[in-house]
Amino acid sequence: MNKIIFKTMELENGLILEIRDESRKIGEDAYVVIMGARMEIQVQKDLFAAQAVSDKKFADIMEILGDDILYEYKSERNMIMSKEKDAVFESQVDTFVKNMVPYISKAIFPEKMILKEYRERVEKKNKYK
């Protein structure tokens, strides 16, 4: 599948957001239009401002998550005719930038995302013990 980088944005919190066109042809003249957004978040102790973590807990977070985590978002529209493909994709991008970028740009976002990912992985690990 072709993943073309459509736009790269540096957010207010210093993270780099990549918006990609991951659309694919599904018929003679039809597409699944897919807008993908992704952002790598480095796991660093100084990110924990709102909820301080002990050295022991941070070591556990690093052990479970590693050096970084990935934020990903996808928006899909099916059976889009090729003449409408670009307009539909740009509409997906505009909606994402308007609705999500203000939230993921906040200084608190990386901390919340890391803690959420950590919690989910710990719960999953404990579920299968």
Domain ranges of the chain: 4-127
Identity of residue 88 = V
> pLDDT, tens digit, for every residue of 65-102?
999 999 999 999 999 999 999 999 999 999 999 999 99
Quote the pLDDT of residue 2. Answer: 61
What percentage of the chain has pLDDT greater than the value 70?
A: 98
* Torsion region of 7: left, alpha or beta (phi above 0 gives left; psi -120 to 50 gives alpha): beta
Alpha-carbon Rg of the chain, whole angstroms?
Answer: 18
Tell me: pLDDT of 19 over 80.
yes
Q: Alpha-carbon distance 60 to 36, whole Å?
A: 30
Asked if residue 80 lies in contact with residue 32, where contact means CB atoms within 8 angstroms, the answer is: yes
Rounded to two decimals, what is the model's pTM?
A: 0.87
